[in-house]
Structure 1
Amino acid sequence: MRVTADVKQETRRRIIESARKLFADKGFEQTTTRDIVADAGIAAGTLYNYFPTKESLAMTLIIEALDGAAEDFASTRRCDESLEESLFAHVNAGLWRLAPHRRYLAEVLETALSPFAERSPGGEAERLRLGHLETVGQLIAGRAPPGAPAHSALTMHLYWTLYLGVLAFWANDPSPNQEDTRVVLDQSMRLFAAWLTNGGMRTEERCDVPDSC
């Protein structure tokens, strides 16, 4: 029997919703693929036709949240923001969207996003990283001196390390509404912007052309 595109889409949706619920209720490590299969009401082998690993399923949920955060950031961004203010707003938008996944985010960081993970990042994790860094590169490019490269591998590596540190801190932050994380985020982005300034970047410049900011 031929499986239609609509059936495939519905099956994928059920898998994602089951994983979303189980990860939130039981945690990432405690949730098994059998749990997801049972909750979604599908055959055991069907899950792997859509998601090869549990990590790839978790990354799909996180990417979905961060895609929404990117839209939030784009719709609220101001042209008079400094680089550190834009970076803060960009990351903070992601934290708000990631809130439903906070309980298991630290585990996903260790298994999929960390440069020290035992397994190589999957395609989903790499797409997340590249997409996030593309936006950061665009923010930096608007403040680079004429003729200078927008960013370097070292710049992006430093930023990504700071970003993962903020996420890890936030995932375990016991302060009300994770207020301490916002302090860490603010200090981290100020540090990053200052590092760029010392490297010749003019972070004090402002964007005054709406289409270019």
Structure 2
Amino acid sequence: MKNPPPDDAVPEGRRERKRRETRQRIVDAAMKLFLDRGYEATTMNDIADAADVSRRSLFDYFPTKEDVLFAGQDDFIPALVEEMRQRPKGEPWPVLVEHAMARAIEDAATPESFAIEALVQRTPSLQPRRQLKYMRLEQAIGEALAERGNSGEDRQRAALLAAVVVAGFRLAASAPGDARLSEGVHQSVSRDFRGFWQALRDFGEEGLAPRTPSPATLRRRDTPRKKGNP
């Protein structure tokens, strides 16, 4: 049984519901074509025909074919931000991001979504848009974390954590989706984060360890400078 909408929720009007349903029908039809034919071989006309909408209507919802392909991935960002905002106040930021990411990925994970991600990774023409997706994700995470801070230093820490988390997310996204589904998406994401935090701690300990000059540096220090050299 579905939970009733909150008291402050605005009821969805008929027009909004029809637009949402049409948009989803377009996305569903397009994803099937992309996976069956490949991205390059699928045209906007193919998508319009498969979704039973006019070409004009299709472009009203999605100006480009890339926009259709990345629709689900673009929807992931606001879903993640909402998960972050629902986390308890005062929760350590790494823990907050880990739990929110695991929940958002779990909600979005399907065999089709993993297949689409694999399609994007192996399609050269989609790499600029893929990079833009990660830039937007990093910005959204940083801004959501900064909302919990109250100083310029907090904003810097938020931006830094967002950058390293998205870097780890990009590496983890290359793992086969069927393995994640069989293990359990939430468990798989949590395991990835544990390894990620451990690696960052190891790097930090190495970076903060006492430094000894290299032999080349010592030789340069001991070599007398010739007159006229700076």
TM-score range, shorter chain: 0.5 to 0.7
Cα 1:198–1:177 shift into 2, 3 Å: same
Counterpart of 2:184 in structure 1 is: 177
Q: In the alignment, what sits opposite 2:71? A: 60
The answer to which of 13-22 and 156-165 deviates more is 13-22
Paired with 1:105 and 1:130, the residues of 2 have a C-alpha distance of 21
Residue matched to 1:36: 47
Q: Superposition pairs for residues 80-99 of structure 1, below 5 Å?
A: 81-99=91-109
Paired residue secondary structure (2:128): coil
1:58-98 C-alpha deviation (Å, 9 max, x unpaired): 323223244234323433x2345333321211211221122
Match for residue 28 of structure 2 among 5, 20, 37: 20
In structure 1, what is the Cα distance between the partners aligned to 2:129 and 2:85?
A: 31
The structure showing larger relative contact order (alpha-carbon pairs under 8 Å, at least 6 residues apart) is: 1
CA distance in 1, matches of 2:190, 2:176: 9
Letter in 2 for 1:165: L
Q: Hey, what's the Cα distance between the residues in 2 that align with 1:197 and 1:136?
A: 25
Once the two structures are TM-superposed, the CA of residue 183 in structure 1 deviates from its matched residue by 1.1
Equivalent in the alignment of 2:223:
none
What's the CA shift for 1:37? Answer: 0.8
**Secondary structure at 1:67 match in 2:** helix
Alignment of 1:111-150 (within 5 A): 118-120=127-129, 127-138=136-147, 141=149, 150=156
In 1, Cα distance between the equivalents of 2:147 and 2:199?
Answer: 19
Task: Write the distance in 2 (CA, Å) between the matches of 1:60 and 1:25.
Answer: 15
Structure showing greater Rg: 2
TM-score by structure 1 length?
0.62
Q: Secondary structure at the match of 2:156?
A: coil
Q: Are the aligned partners of 2:48 and 2:54 in contact in 1 as well (CA < 8 Å)?
A: yes
CA distance in 1 between partners of 2:146 and 2:176 (Å): 23
Q: Structure 2, unaligned stretches of length 5 or more?
A: 1-13, 209-230
TM-score (norm 2): 0.58
Q: How many residues align?
A: 188
* Match for residue 168 of structure 1 among 141, 158, 174: 174
CA distance in 2 between counterparts of 1:94 and 1:28 reads 27
